[in-house]
Homo-oligomer: A and B are copies of this chain.
């Protein structure tokens, strides 16, 4: 059993994603949601955060939040998986606890 981390802040505006990755144990998962979804985009000044964590942590992104912000799925960093709210529920159930990086 491992933790599910949720990050809802843009990595350009706040340090939440950076801190989450620093403190997420290998084998845990991160769900990027709300303004956090910008962290899942490739070719940005912050892409290295998620790209660098990939071997150690499974990274998910909330599809409805991508759509709201006009981020098309072909812009996502390779290996990032898109889930809907039902998938979010499943992730919470599958992990031992959820830690929100607010």
Interface residues of A, Cβ cutoff 8 Å to B? 12-15
CA distance A13 to B12 in the complex (A): 11
**Could you tell me the dominant secondary structure of chain A's interface residues?**
loop
CA distance A58 to B15 in the complex (A): 27
CB contacts (< 8 Å) of A15 on chain B: these are 12-14
CA distance A14 to B12 in the complex (A): 8
CB contacts (< 8 Å) of A12 on chain B: these are 15
Nearest CB of chain B from residue A20's CB, rounded to whole Å: 13
CA distance A12 to B13 in the complex (A): 11
Nearest CB of chain B from residue A77's CB, rounded to whole Å: 21
CA distance A15 to B15 in the complex (A): 9
Of all chain B residues, the one with the shortest Cβ separation from A14 is B14
CA distance A12 to B15 in the complex (A): 7
5 contacts between A and B (CB under 8 A): A12-B15, A13-B14, A13-B15, A14-B14, A14-B15
